């Protein structure tokens, strides 16, 4: 049986909440080579619904690496930790930029697990961040927060 599509009004809400940025790696859709997706934070395969509180804007790379994962290994503790939830958590509580804003540093178990699982420092992203930072287009402000509903 086919699953229902995410309604257009919900997709618009998610784009607005995300300010056109991937809610995981903070890449900007306007500079992307591939289209962004409105994805399920808790995948439907894990009983996630299509409500506003369970949808996030994701670049293709993050969406592909996330797949149906809801947790990943924290390299500091070697324990499983939940992945970042853009509707329930603030990005800046779990991540920071390195000095030149090219690398995302996980500053919590959730942050570290998300960096590793979603490959948030993929070489192509690091190169793009370097170029955009030089042009004054990076980093983007943290627009995340608890907006479940």
Nearest to 119 by CA among 39, 59, 29, 78: 59
Nearest to 35 by CA among 62, 55, 66, 8: 62
pLDDT tens for each residue of 3-29: 667 899 999 999 999 999 999 999 999
pTM of the model: 0.92
pLDDT tops 80 at residue 121: yes
Report the alpha-carbon distance of residue 29 to residue 16 in Å, rounded: 12
Share of the chain above pLDDT 90, in %: 89
pLDDT at residue 132 in the model: 97
Q: Residue 81: beta bridge partners?
A: 72
Q: How large is the average pLDDT for residues 54-59?
A: 98
pLDDT at residue 147 in the model: 47
């Amino acid at each position: 049986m086919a699953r229902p599509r995410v309604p257009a009004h919900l997709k618009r809400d998610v784009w607005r909440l995300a300010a056109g940025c991937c809610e995981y790696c903070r890449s900007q859709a306007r500079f992307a080579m591939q289209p962004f997706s409105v994805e399920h934070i808790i995948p439907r395969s894990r009983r996630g619904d299509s409500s506003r509180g369970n949808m996030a804007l994701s670049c293709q790379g993050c969406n592909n690496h996330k797949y149906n994962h809801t947790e990943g290994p924290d390299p500091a503790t070697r324990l499983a930790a939940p992945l970042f939830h853009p509707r329930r958590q603030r990005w800046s509580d779990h991540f920071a930029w390195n000095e030149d804003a090219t690398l995302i540093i996980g500053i919590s178990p959730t942050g570290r697990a998300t960096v590793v699982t979603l490959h948030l420092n993929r070489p192509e992203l690091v190169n793009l961040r370097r170029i955009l930072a030089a042009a004054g287009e990076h980093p983007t402000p943290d627009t995340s927060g608890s907006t479940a509903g």
